[in-house]
Chains A and B, each alone.
Chain A
């Protein structure tokens, strides 16, 4: 029915090998838990093949034993038997399809889970380098390709082979001479089938490639349509598209032509085999060496020969695609970029929250240092503001403290212990982070505050939101705490998103807080709410705040000034202003405007 789908991805990096023993062994590991299903599916399939062989046999017997002799007693039993075989075939076929599909789905499920789990464990450095889109493709499309292997590839190959062997056996058993004569068309049949399958495979590969090009071109052109129009380049784009569109049509016409030859040629071969049976078999019947029923059996068996051979030749595609996809999947599973957990983690029930940076050097890319020997100490409960111009390395401090990255040199200590001696999860549980760009997950307000915690206590959530002052806007939303947020929280204002992220940290209630204040301006009322919230948030915690608000600078115990990856000044607001150094200038630039808006200043 020509129902092939369009693949949007072009497997340019596919190895093209349909079988690879190493890949096969790894895949087998995913199949092993479901061996019972494979066995059961195969049994059903063999049963169904047997009943498909029995059908023609019963028809032949009916002709020879009842119809030609004209004896109808017992004929009805045969009909009932035929009915039973037919029904069994139906049930077994359905059972086999259901079982093998279940097998495929389960295996995919497991594979997808292990990919997802694996992705969760990889470090940010890995995500810096690998575009999200490609990773998503691994977990969806590539896994989907393997489904075909598991649900229609493996088991049905056994079935097709069994069917072919069964038919050949039955024919030989019935009349070996006629059987051998009929088999003479087999080489032609195989040659034609594999020849056209190969042609079609190439043609379809071309079709996929060219539809992918059309898609890529459309994607680009439609996104850049205004540029095309501004530069009067419609004609050029039209010609480019026309070339792609023509190529695409040509590729399809190739498949059309191949099918247009393939189908009739197969039918012609079928007719020739029929003619052979009719000719030789007919003469044998007349000579009395063959019965009429057997002749009819042969005619029916030969007709059943074609399907499994054609199916088998198609399986090659499935194996090839599956090999390419599993290779890509396993490559991803082999990536081991992780921030390591210590072999023997240090445990303590609670921490005081003293933070110490000791001569920390760090670069995201080699040769491009971002931190160049940072040392400072924050006592437990001390509040520190970090200031500096963009690119000074402020955000990197946060990344290192939470061990999203490890420094290349120097160490970071909490309560005197190098943080590399703690378990990552334990460490992060004790550090609360609120970032500038608040990431909202699709889900309810409630789940966004508790961030996926199992059965979060609503009272605790409300308490956190109330302390922060977020309850005011939350309660106004339709559904309140159960209000559904769209992806990326586009329905919330910038200020509301800030408050939500504060509520998250409040709910988590960590000993150490790191906070990257948002620079974007909000209305006066929201600004007031955020300032109040921030005071509540940093109270009683060791806090490291990348400050953009004057009010924040005024509320901290100490300010450290970073410049080009170094810590250049430190002290209180007044002390630093008197130094007339970088802070003095930064203050003029970033904070002075806010003086007018600050009521208590």
Chain B
């Protein structure tokens, strides 16, 4: 991401307007508190000045005590406003952060599969957390500190000038340098810590690669050279860190140094002024205190400038995500046939369907013509990359088919409301994706109605999961790890099958979902599914003849074209992909039976 250009400063912050709007009133209250607490603070040195002058002139105890009481009183009131200021202003920024993140998530839910295939999850996540935090810093601390700085300067400087103009100028010189150095050094620090971060991710990648390839390393006895290589990288990381320390280590001492210079100026020149009699010791002490109060706001200027710069860049990155629009949306005018309460039959017809993935030139499907009557079963067979999964994915519109090529119950899928379309189609995808919830929650994932326990058990049995689950201590309520890692591949697939079966949708899509299930279990599942699929339109993709031989219609896809179609009985008679696969599987069974 390049640095945003200077000219569009306000324009680039405009997206924040709607987020600030609901908090407008509280925001003003917060600013008012900031104003009050900071302006009250300006009275403190004056109270001390009068106290000290009372001591100086020996004017009596009472005045000293008065000023002490005033001092504590003011501070107390000031503390209350300071509390309110922080609570309101920083609180608002947290609420806005929450809102932006919620909106971002809503938006992400609308984006199509194609977006997730080309975007790394880590990249989206860093925008939803790191970048969002930078934007929050811009809305909260940056606004609060800059307002505080303005108020402090507006009040303190006139009083200081009133005490003595030259003293003010002299003591401000080092403080101006504080702002400047925080701004400049802060920027370099940020850049160098980015370099450190990059090196750290190099190290991470290196260790990752080394451990993933440990077998090769061991068999070629390259452990020592790997260690040497790691040592070099490790050393570079050390050097990058020290490169950073050279600037980060200078910032704080430098600020203290400049603050010291400022005190020195007041001590030297102020001392002369006292001796000359043009200011009192009370003035002198008050002046020192004002100077102390200016110290933090001067640091804040530099800090705030950097926060604004980074916050803007981050905001632009977040807005880039918001700008991505989905092309898979509800039709503007849904087909009239889909009015209320219509029962979906599940008749799929495919007419001259060709499909090319966006951004590629080679079509994956070429001129497919198919009619799948409601309640019938179609099996799709073919080598890897022939377009089987693409065909499956087009039906629930994970990708958009060309208009006029894919119809359900005579209505182009593009004219179906998305939610209606997808709730008519139950899918078992090729890559089993389970959520880190209980098995029960995973199975009931897509179900909107409540369900009897017996019904769940029935589904679990159909999916061939019953025995497995009985073996788990928590049965159906067993919690799954991330992506279901505590299940075997076959158990995961069967859970995903259960998740689709429970929906009882008119259309069932099984995309190669038995690949990790052994043949015997597969046959059991298929047998128990017979009744279930009899009343539903079923599309089944597989590599195993045993899975599909019962289908009403079988097609062989090769390089996106239908090369064979018919029933099992017809296809084994023809020479071709189907019959050769059939022979091989017979052989395999024979080998398995030996011994």
List the interface of chain A (C-beta within 8 A of B).
Answer: 1-2, 6, 55, 59, 62-63, 66-68, 70, 72, 75-76, 79, 82-83, 86-87, 89-90, 93-94, 97-98, 101-102, 105-106, 108-109, 112-113, 116-117, 119-121, 124, 127, 132-133, 135-136, 139-140, 144, 211, 214-216, 218-220, 222-234, 237-238, 241-242, 245-246, 248-249, 252-253, 256-257, 259-261, 263-265, 267-268, 271-272, 274-275, 278-279, 282-283, 285-286, 292, 296, 299, 303, 389, 402, 404, 425, 428-429, 431, 433, 435, 439, 441-442, 451-454, 487, 504, 508, 563-564, 568, 581-582, 585-586, 588-589, 593
Contacts and interface: CB of A to CB of B under 8 A. Distances in A.
B82 interface: yes
Contact of A253 (B94, B216, B257): B94
A279 B65 contact: yes
Given A226-B429, A256-B87, A264-B83, A89 B260 contact: yes
A299 B275 CA distance: 22
Main secondary structure of the interface of B (DSSP, over half): helix
Interface in B64-98: 64-65, 67-68, 71-72, 75-76, 78-80, 82-84, 86-87, 90-91, 94-95, 97-98
B587 A589 contact: yes
7 contacts: A98-B249, A113-B234, A230-B425, A232-B446, A271-B44, A292-B281, A402-B219
A135 B206 CA distance: 12
B275 A67 contact: yes
B309 to A, nearest CB: 15
A101 B241 contact: yes
B423 interface: yes
B124 interface: yes
Interface stretch (B266-274, B359-367, B456-464, B467-475): B266-274
A230 B422 contact: yes
A590 to B, nearest CB: 9
A222 B257 contact: no
B101 interface: yes
B242 interface: yes
A224 B214 CA distance: 30
The 3 closest A-B pairs by CB, nearest first: A231-B446, A452-B225, A264-B79
B594 interface: yes
Nearest to A228: B109
Nearest to B51: A278
A452 B222 contact: yes
B55 A6 contact: no
A307 B116 CA distance: 49
B319 interface: no
Given A93-B256, A101-B249, A586 B272 contact: no
B257 A214 contact: no
A563 B594 CA distance: 9
B213 interface: yes
Contacts of B595: 563-564, 568
A215 B256 contact: no
B271 A67 contact: yes
A132 B204 CA distance: 11
B245 A98 contact: yes
Nearest to A227: B433
B403 interface: no
Given A87-B257, A218-B128, A241-B102, 13 more contacts: A2-B141, A67-B271, A116-B230, A119-B211, A132-B212, A140-B203, A229-B398, A249-B98, A253-B91, A279-B65, A433-B220, A564-B595, A585-B587
A593 B91 CA distance: 71
Contact of B445 (A94, A133, A231, A487): A231
A267 B588 contact: no
A34 B205 CA distance: 29
Contacts of A275: 68, 71-72
B301 to A, nearest CB: 13
Nearest to B112: A229
B218 A296 contact: no
B187 to A, nearest CB: 15
B250 A140 contact: no
Given A89-B253, A140-B203, A263-B86, A106 B215 contact: no
A259 B85 CA distance: 11
Contacts of A116: 207, 210, 227, 230, 234
A272 B105 contact: no
A517 B342 CA distance: 57
A206 to B, nearest CB: 14
A432 to B, nearest CB: 8
A102 B433 CA distance: 46
B154 interface: no
B260 A55 contact: yes
A124 B217 CA distance: 11
Contact of B64 (A263, A278, A402): A278
Nearest to A223: B121
B497 to A, nearest CB: 13
Nearest to B86: A260
Contact of B221 (A215, A263, A428): A428
Contacts of B272: 72
A460 B64 CA distance: 92
B516 interface: no
Contact of B263 (A59, A90, A237, A441): A59
Contact of B98 (A109, A231, A245): A245
A456 B252 CA distance: 49
Nearest to B271: A67
Interface in B181-199: none
A451 B587 contact: no
B238 interface: yes
A454 to B, nearest CB: 7
Interface in B109-123: 109-111, 113, 116, 121
A112 B219 contact: no
Given A55-B260, A260-B90, A433-B219, A271 B72 contact: yes
B170 to A, nearest CB: 13
B584 interface: yes
Contacts of B549: none
B83 A451 contact: no
A94 B253 contact: yes
Contacts of B371: none
B1 interface: no
A274 B90 contact: no
Contacts of A245: 98, 101-102, 105
A133 B207 CA distance: 10
A299 B44 CA distance: 14
B417 to A, nearest CB: 11
B590 interface: yes
A59 B219 contact: no
Nearest to A281: B55
B477 interface: no
Contacts of B234: 109, 112-113, 116
B267 A79 contact: yes
B79 A265 contact: yes
B420 to A, nearest CB: 9
Contact of A124 (B109, B110, B218, B242): B218
